Amino acid sequence: MEFNENKSKAMIITRKRRLDKINIYLNNRSLEQVDVMKCLGIHIDSRLLFYKHIEHVAEKSRALTYMPNRTAKLHWGLEHKSLKTIYEGAIVPLMTSGAPVWERAITNNKYLQKLHSA
């Protein structure tokens, strides 16, 4: 099997606060060690807290929410049905994508408030 060392990264998953960098080699090439890795659209961090993922989802949802608001102001308002279609078609799938993986993270009030604010 061949791999591209520029695209390959390593991440140590642990609950420790302080983690020393270790050298991980594959085919005599050192892999870059990262704290957050994106896999299938979910940002996974080394402590499995999913804060970066929730932060990313909240920011993207906020941006999607502001777009209809700008359009509504330009065209003197959008109908409720149009706004509901945008919400159900864009925002809900974004916020629930991969939820079974990171659902325990929202038991933390800080993370839950971040999603509610979006």
Q: For 9-26, write each residue's pLDDT tens digit.
A: 888 888 877 777 788 888
Q: How far apart are CA 106 and CA 46, in angstroms?
A: 17
Q: Is residue 57 part of a domain?
A: yes
Per-residue pLDDT, 10? 87
- Cβ atoms of 66 and 87 within 8 Å: the answer is no
Q: Is residue 19 part of a domain?
A: no
Q: Is residue 83 part of a domain?
A: yes
Q: Is residue 81 part of a domain?
A: yes
Cα separations (Å) of 77 from 65, 82, 91, 106?
Answer: 14, 10, 19, 34
pLDDT in tens, 81-113: 877 887 888 888 888 888 888 888 888 888 888
Number of domains composing the chain: 1
- What is the span of the domain harbouring residue 101? 50-117
Q: Is residue 87 part of a domain?
A: yes
More confident residue, 116 or 69: 116
Q: Is residue 94 part of a domain?
A: yes
Q: Is residue 23 part of a domain?
A: no
Q: How far apart are CA 71 and CA 52, in angstroms?
A: 29
Q: Is residue 66 part of a domain?
A: yes
Which contacts qualify for 19-24: CB closer than 8 Å, 24 or more apart? Answer: 19/46
pLDDT in tens, 25-82: 888 888 888 889 998 889 998 888 888 999 999 898 888 877 766 766 655 666 778 7
